[in-house]
Amino acid sequence: MAKKVTIQILADLAQEREERYHSHNPLAPGHRMCIGCGIPPIVNEVLLAIDKPVVVSTATGCLEVTTGVYPYTAWNTPWIHVNFQSAAAVIGGVEAAYNVLKKKGLIGEDIEFVAFGGDGGTYDIGFQALSAAVERGHNFLYVCYNNEGYQNTGYQKSSATPIGAYTKTTPVGSAKVGKQEPRKDLTMIMAAHGIPYVAQASPHIYRDLTRKVKKALTFKGPKFINVLQPCTLSWRFAPEDTMRLAKLAVETRYWPVYEVIHGKYWKVNIKPKRPKPIEEYIAAQPRWKHVLKYPEIVERIQKEVDDKWNHLLALEEMSKALAEKEGIDYEALFANPEDNKESQ
């Protein structure tokens, strides 16, 4: 039997849930996800931040296969499971139907619509449907829980898998060392759609993630949040280290935490004063630590991290200059929506 370990951040979230929301977790205990899986805290952090009725769709993946095994369900919300590529298309269709029924007076209450997909169902298989749904302007929030591979089917590579990482389809050998291609930057791609709100977040900073959900829902139209989800099974770390890995990803700048409004105003939310070396993050993951024997690969990974970080900082500076030119209060753009409520 696995040793029971208290993960403080989850204990804090549970306490805050009781104090602030007075409600049950939208995703109940008793599901079949791995011990230490990062998906349940992500789903609950997102849905607990929404104070209206919500309809959820999920693509096929870890979240779906572990929470809806017939005849049981772990969902305390209306939930639709759809095939791998269709979470965004289906939630867009539901939102369109809701608008018709509300216009006819058949539904009176306000409802929010949220789609969840892993990186396989979002970066790759479901990208076409996601891009089309946001282009049509449906009013919904899409959340990608990004565990950097097809974990549900035994860990094959996705376009989110990092350089050098081992997967079943990117083995480590004398000819090649893990995955050769860099990660696709889906958050940047979604920002390029010019939709109202895009963000990257980490589950270990749950106040940042819940704030971003609340901020996203202040906008009408499509919203997208990409959340890193360390995978204890395929990344091969101890279950109690899930949040430690998420924290290291931010502290090394591997996973910058930022937000984008209307595709043109950028803000980096956390700027580590003394960023930790990428080697520390890599060494914590048996799926990846073999690359430490290859300095040229580590150098390539570090360059990718540095280039993306510097690009984000440049976009942030350009945003400030643009806002000033347009007479817009840059800081007010990214203000906490709850602060605005308190000041009213």
**pLDDT tens digit sequence for 201-238:** 999 998 899 999 999 999 999 999 999 999 999 999 99
pLDDT of residue 28: 86
Q: In the structure, what pLDDT confidence band is assigned to residue 343 with cuts at 50, 70 and 90?
A: very low
- Reference 301, options 280, 278, 284, 285; nearest CA is 278
For the cut 80, the answer to whether the pLDDT of residue 11 exceeds it is no
For the cut 70, the answer to whether the pLDDT of residue 14 exceeds it is no
Which helix (H) or strand (E) is 315 found in, with range? Answer: helix 295-326
- Reference 37, options 210, 288, 247, 246; nearest CA is 246
d(CA 313, CA 142): 25
d(CA 27, CA 42): 10
For the cut 50, the answer to whether the pLDDT of residue 2 exceeds it is no
For the cut 50, the answer to whether the pLDDT of residue 65 exceeds it is yes
84-139, pLDDT tens digit by residue?
899 999 999 999 999 999 999 999 999 999 999 999 999 999 999 999 999 999 99
pLDDT of residue 344: 42
For the cut 60, the answer to whether the pLDDT of residue 240 exceeds it is yes
pTM for the structure as a whole: 0.93
Q: In the structure, what pLDDT confidence band is assigned to residue 152 with cuts at 50, 70 and 90?
A: confident
Q: In the structure, what pLDDT confidence band is assigned to residue 13 with cuts at 50, 70 and 90?
A: low
Question: Which residue bears the tokens 């840059």?
Answer: 330
For the cut 70, the answer to whether the pLDDT of residue 23 exceeds it is no
Sign of CA dihedral 309, 338, 41, 95: negative
Q: In the structure, what pLDDT confidence band is assigned to residue 30 with cuts at 50, 70 and 90?
A: confident
d(CA 53, CA 111): 5
Mean pLDDT, rounded, of the chain: 92
Cβ-proximal residues to 193 (8 Å cutoff; 6+ apart), any chain = 131, 134, 135, 222, 263
Average pLDDT estimate for 18-42: 82
